[in-house]
Amino acid sequence: MDKKKVLLQLEFLRKKSLKMRLAAEEWDSDWKILVSIIMSAQSRDETTIIVANSLFKKYSTLKKLSKANYFDVLKVFKSLNYNKTKAKNVINCAKILLKDYDCKVPMDFNKLINLPGVGRKTANVFLSEKGKDTIGVDTHLSYVSQYLNWSKHKNPVVIERDLKNLFPKNYWRLVNPVVVRFGKSYTNRKEKNKILDCIKKIK
């Protein structure tokens, strides 16, 4: 696919999207960014942000979160999907960051994915939020990538590879947030596909 065309398509997606805050954005510390991304998996960003604010109000430091009672955190997480697993993961993640990393989130992909609740997508979204050139592939990006023929694959690892080959490196960290905002702006599948069909025709 023409690389100039995909940049035009990405810009069109950006223009057609509503302005909204995503779960990874606007936190005042790295550990809050990471914890919020862990919490956001399979949950709406709007819900995640509200729950994260409640969590950080109750546990204002990583040390306090590392000592949190599981059932207390679970109560805070009641409106999140997979709340039991997420409650365990954020507490255990806080413990490891406190013990092994002196409360600092590692900026290394391989170290990140060894933290509880952090998979490839979460690690990449965190790193891109910190200005690193990488692409976090979630369900929104997977769907759009296949629809617009950016990738012919369903495996997120392969999609990530295809997108990195397709987009200039300085665009990598923009791809996920642009596409996620688009996906969240059009929850109606027919309406979304109608816009994507128009984007396909861009030359």
CATH class of the 3-18+133-200 domain in this structure: mainly alpha
What's the DSSP call for residue 169? G
Residue 6: its pLDDT value, please?
A: 96
Predicted confidence (pLDDT) per residue in 108-142, tens digit: 999 999 999 999 999 999 999 999 999 999 999 99
Residue intervals of the chain classified under CATH 1.10.1670.10 are 3-18+133-200
Tell me the CATH number of domain 30-129, given options 1.10.10.10, 1.10.340.30, 1.10.287.610, 3.90.950.20.
1.10.340.30
Question: In the predicted model, is pLDDT for residue 3 greater than 90?
Answer: no
Question: In the predicted model, is pLDDT for residue 1 greater than 80?
Answer: no
Distance CA 63, CA 65 (A): 5
Structure tokens belonging to residue 35: 């914890």
Kind plus residue range of the DSSP H or E element containing 72: helix 70-76
Question: In the predicted model, is pLDDT for residue 2 greater than 90?
Answer: no
Inter-axis angle of helices 30-40 and 120-129, to 10 degrees?
140
Look up tokens 């987009």; give the residue.
167
Residue 185: its pLDDT value, please?
A: 95
Question: In the predicted model, is pLDDT for residue 148 greater than 90?
Answer: yes
